Structure 1
């Protein structure tokens, strides 16, 4: 088991699952049994069977950090098709990676794209609930696959939950976001790109192209982003503490009070209404009207202008650290604040504008009509939003 050829096989298996490359062999057959693990060449990761619920004989092929005593799974192959015994065979041939269980039954398979042999560039197109550095989220036009994250159903069941985290890859939109929610929900929770990071999340994700995000090693080579298996529908960012051999939370959506405040018991999201934003004051989330607006009397919520508005006698109120409103009208590749401001000012229907960065280009984004679905981050994150108000509202 310690021969160079066998370590090539281990390298192929583990690194394929981590979206890396190998050039060892063109085919192999690997027998897997209980309590047998296969380390990567640098002993960073291990592959083997896991039994999340010790009271039920359901076994899964997973990978974890070799130094993690808890064996926290970073990826699970057969998450939706468990083995009933901890025995199986992993084969690779003709670009197909296949896990075979009892009765010669295929319980999981993946096609490794990119060519006719292992020397070709290969990518594992199905992340489960976790992103590691160099893993991607979004649509890959080369393979035709869409990479999304789905949480475990619960702490002991790795099968796919109904929630998903995906990259909203609208080619024509300068306002890019990652979206968290159920496929059939009328309203999902979105985290908007500000040219540096998504919301107030650490800058661990980068826009690789118009349809793909890639996770970086900003927080270390063994950092991870995980879609949590809990009732809070949360995203967690973790770093690996080598000394204590534990993953430590660096950021969590569950700590965003607005996320919990605007989510009902059924898991649906609402907004504060038009011209209103969620903010945290003394750790108590609340909806606040933009300066120059007051609360509506209707139960639907939201705010209305406090005085008659004349677009020829208007100014722009700067709101910092903002999650940008939904449904922007259009965007143009313009240079500088003043150009963007004049562009908005020339259109009487323009209610707000912002400068956003996407793929090293600066875009002037402007809104017409009511502004909705906004949030003010406390401190780090968000963007500058310029809201058009009556000149008298600014004094």
Structure 2
């Protein structure tokens, strides 16, 4: 079981020389910075220079906020190739590139672009360090820019994603530790396959998934609905696919980073308290972790247990499910026959993993349903864009992974699940908000009497209590699906396994009786057998 806590950022002292700030934001072919020299952006927002951390003897070229007392490095040039002392030199090389050399003039880091003439390197108020031609300030013509090579931090205006023309992939990689800016284990990347979404990875293992962009937000980040100080952008065309954000109030500071523990953290600077405020983080709960409830499982933090199977599905591993391990997921009760299947609407969903999905932004939802119905491989469909009443089509033809359901006030979007017609009949129209087995109107009590032959074997007697307006005339034995009681319920039912409730003891363990509260409407006494 995972233990969750809010991870607050801890800052380690940033060691700098006594600052000898230059009066410019630009390095020309005749200028250098070395030792304790820095350059500062025109608006006095960011500073570039040399730094080290803690007691380390390794030195780095980096960018940090100029007027924030808490040392906050947002970019490191030579993170995986540090200087061994403080005598590095940053300059414009003869070929027009930015180059960092050590005291022996050995190259440590370079912008490494094709030869250009009359170039300058400039630090902008956005935090972007750019190489451009001296008389050309058009951002479209930058020869090189640090925003294309992020370290662990995404700043306003930076792009997370792909440039299709150059093959450049912009992603975040954590520091190895708070004192070591070299590349760590965690990364945050955009997957452009199928319906694009971003992943937090531990090396190459998926830890967290945002859900695909639905026109307003990532479907698995409902907090974006209330983040009014930001504007979020997701662009997908033949030239590039990327996510970025901006601040509505340009005087504010905010940053998104991957910390050394593998947590995504969005911070905003509070000038009154002189502190970075943790605005948002992920993963923040059990359902944020990738594939928590397995294939076809739905995770819901408002339910207990958090993992549920949708109508028409059942746990693949009932024993593990009993112990609240839903990682094996769910399987269909009835296989699809293609000719006579229906659709179960699921509301407020984080859409399934979408890397293998089909997307057509020009289709209507009705056309999407028709395509899914006629495709025997189709498992589910949804709108690709929920703005303006919804448009576009996403179709899943592979198993549905990493789904989550939110409360109505939280967000999510509608997903239409293909289910065998016979299972739809059992579960109703599926118009409720969950569409999971926990949403059934039946309440079932299992009465277990003693272990027989093996400790796994029980004599089962099921009592089915039906509401007054449900299943009229239906035999109570039509559906003998049995619920699973968690350990906490068993402890309460047996009064913490008190001797007064102990019925006896055999070769396979003790037998207790327990009292179960049926939704506060009635009490049903039964005997529960345990090892």
Q: TM-score under structure 2 normalisation?
A: 0.61
Query: Which residue in 1 is equivalent to 2:61?
Result: 61
Partner in structure 1 of residue 82 of structure 2: 82
Matches within 5 A, 1:27-176: 27-34=29-36, 36-53=37-54, 55-93=55-93, 94-111=95-112, 116=117, 117=119, 118=133, 119=136, 120-122=141-143, 123-124=145-146, 125-170=148-193, 173=194, 175-176=195-196
1:243 aligns with 2:272: yes
What per-residue deviation string (whole Å, max 9, x for no partner) do you get for residues 157-195 of structure 1? 10011322111123xx2x11112214543x453322222
Secondary structure of residue in 1 paired with 2:367? helix
1:226 aligned residue: 257
Instruction: Specify every segment of 5 or more residues in structure 2 that has no aligned partner in the other structure, as ranges.
Output: 1-21, 120-132, 225-229, 321-326, 430-531
Q: 1:276 aligns with which of 293, 297, 300?
A: 297
SS of 1:244's equivalent in the other structure is coil
Given candidates 227, 233, 239, the residue that maps to 1:206 is: 233
- Which has the higher Rg, Structure 1 or Structure 2? 2
C-alpha contact (below 8 Å) 1:276/1:303 kept by paired residues: yes
| Matched-pair contact (CA < 8 Å) for 2:186–2:260 | no
CA drift of 1:129 comes to 0.6
| SS of the residue 1:104 aligns to | coil
2:4 corresponds to which residue? none
Partner of 1:191: 210
Question: Which residue number corresponds to residue 392 of structure 2?
Answer: 363
Return 5+ residue gaps in structure 1 as ranges.
1-5, 14-24, 263-268
1:66-125 deviation line (CA, Å, top 9, x unaligned): 221121101111211222323321102443111122222222211367964422424233
Q: Rate the CA distance shift 1:380–1:151 in 2: closer, same or farther, 3 A.
A: same
1:376 equivalenced with 2:396 (yes/no)? no
Distance verdict in 2 for CA 1:368–1:212, change over 3 Å: closer
Q: Secondary structure at the match of 1:150?
A: strand
1:250 aligns to what SS in structure 2? strand
Which of 353, 377, 384 matches 2:381? 353
- Give distance in 2, aligned partners of 1:139 and 1:359: 24
**In structure 1, distance between residues paired with 2:397 and 2:108:** 52
The corresponding residue for 2:367 is 339
Whole-Å Cα distance in 2 between the matches of residues 334 and 213 of structure 1?
A: 20
Query: Structure 1 stretch 75-84 or stretch 295-304: which is displaced more?
Result: 295-304
Alignment of 1:247-262 (within 5 A): 247-259=276-288, 262=289
For 2:357 and 2:189, the matched residues in 1 are separated by 23
- What secondary structure does 1:342 align onto? helix
Label 1:92 to 1:255 Cα distance change in 2 as closer, same or farther (>3 A): same
User: Per the alignment, do residues 28 and 223 of structure 1 end up closer, same or farther by CA in structure 2, a change over 3 Å counting?
Assistant: farther
- Structure 2 residue corresponding to 1:394, chosen from 428, 432, 435: 428
**Aligned counterpart in structure 2 of residue 293 of structure 1, from 313, 316, 331:** 313
Deviations 1:188-234 (A, max 9, x none): 5332222222231536642234433242214654221111112xx11
Counterpart contact for 1:257–1:285, Cα < 8 Å: no
CA contact (8 A) 1:63 1:74 kept: yes
Distance 1:207 1:95 in 2: 34
1:320 maps onto 2:354 in alignment: no
Corresponding pairs, count: 359
Q: Residues 345-373 of structure 1: CA distance to partner in whole angstroms, max 9, x if unpaired?
A: 23344221011139999431112353222
Moved more, 318-327 or 234-243: 318-327
Q: Quick check: 1:205–1:213 contact (8 Å CA) kept in 2?
A: no
Contact 1:315–1:394 (CA<8 Å) still a contact in 2? no
CA distance in 2: counterparts of 1:47 and 1:341, whole angstroms: 54
The alignment partner of 2:394 has SS state of strand
State the match for 2:332 in structure 1. Answer: 305
Equivalent-residue separation in structure 2 for 1:204 and 1:247 (angstroms): 20
Greater length-normalized contact order (CA 8 Å, ≥ 6 residues apart): 1
Residue by residue over 1:5-41, the C-alpha shift from the partner in whole angstroms, topping out at 9 and shown as x without a partner, is: x64xx4236xxxxxxxxxxx5x24323223x443211
Structure 1 residues 358 and 62 mapped into 2: Cα distance closer, same or farther (>3 Å)? farther
